[in-house]
Each structure stands twice: as structure tokens, then as C-alpha cells.
Structure 1
């Protein structure tokens, strides 16, 4: 299984390098359209290779998706935490009741022995 994982990672790395080499053209990224930048008197621009734009979009999408899923599962994690606390509380109660029950049995036996001694 380890070799299959290494093979997959090697193929993925080769694919990324090939895509990067095929998309080396420089593109200009602007924060605002030119008309709006003139009105706002601010425009941030950067010249980067095209593959950087594509991979940045891919990474941003993955991060947004991971965060979205983490937020969606928050109620399930909270419920699991409540269930763990309730289970621990119930286990403590069961052990306390078992100790109390075993202690009562000893007291009953001792009471019977003492009653026999008093009667005899």
C-alpha cells in the first residue's frame, strides 16, 4: 500500500510540474477594474505566472471547503462531547451504586450474625 501511495504522489507531482510548465505565461492581476480603480484612487496589481493563479484558486477553494465542513460538523462534535460527559457521569453513578450495594450486603450479613449471637 505504501508503494501505491508513493506512485500516486509521484504521478501527482509530475502532473503539477507539467501543468506549471505549460502555463508559464505572465498575467496581470488587478484588485479592482480600471474604472473603479480611478474612482477609488487605489488599484493593486501583480504580475504572476498563470499556474500560480490556478493553483492559488485551487488551494483557496480547498481551505474554504475544509472550513465550511468544520463549521457544519460543529453541532455533531458538540453532541458527541455531551454524550461523552453523560457516559462518564453514568459510569461513575453505576460504580457508586455497585459499591453502595456491595456495602449494604455486608451490613446485612453482619446484622444477621449479630442477631444470631443475641438470640443464642
Structure 2
């Protein structure tokens, strides 16, 4: 199983290297479109290789997805923790109520109930 994992990682790494080598041309990355240049004080633009733009976009998407999933899972974990606390509270109450001896119960029956 470990070798399959290593082989998968190696294939993925080779694919990334091939994508990077095939997309080495420089592209201009503009933050603000040309139509809105007159409204902005600064119009930053960067010259980057295309593979950095592609891989950077994938990385940003992954980070946004992980953060989104974290918030969804955190909500579920809080609800699960609340339910666990409620179950423990109810178990403690049942244990306490089983330990309480009704006044009309015979002592022998109380000892038998306590044993079971």
C-alpha cells in the first residue's frame, strides 16, 4: 500500500513538472481591468510565468475549500459535543435515580436491585 502511495505522489509530481515546463511563457496578471484603470490610483500588474498563475490558482482554491470545510465541520463538532454532554448528563441522572431507594420498597428488594 505504501508503494502505491509513493507511485501516486511521483505521478502527480511528474504531471506538475510537465505542466510547468509546457507553460513557461510570461503572462501579465492585472489586478484591475483596463476599463477601470481611470478610477483606480494604483493599477498593479505583474509579469509571471503561466504555470505559476495556474498552480497559484489551484492552491488558492484548495485553501478556500479547506477553510470552508473547517467551518462546516466545526459546527458539526460543536453539535456532537453538545449531544455527548447531554447523553452523559442523562446517564448520570439515570444512575442517580437507580441508586435512590423509594420509601415503600423493601430493603431486600433494594439490595437485589442494587446488585443488578
Deviations 1:10-56 (A, max 9, x none): 11111111111111111111111234223312111111110110011
**What is the SS of the residue equivalent to 2:100?**
helix
What corresponds to 1:21 in structure 2? 21
TM-score (norm 1): 0.73
Q: Give the total of aligned pairs.
A: 106
- Which consecutive residues of structure 1, in runs of 5 or more, have no partner in the other structure? 110-120
What are the residue-to-residue correspondences of 1:27-42 with 2, within 5 Å?
27-42=27-42
What corresponds to 2:56 in structure 1? 56
TM-align CA RMSD: 2.4
Q: Would you identify which runs of 4 or more consecutive aligned residues in structure 1 move more than 4 Å?
A: none
Q: What CA distance in whole angstroms lies between the structure 2 residues aligned with 1:2 and 1:100?
A: 57
Task: Report deviation, 1:97.
Answer: 3.1
Q: What CA distance in whole angstroms lies between the structure 2 residues aligned with 1:75 and 1:40?
A: 40
Q: What CA distance in whole angstroms lies between the structure 2 residues aligned with 1:63 and 1:15?
A: 21
TM-score (norm 2): 0.75
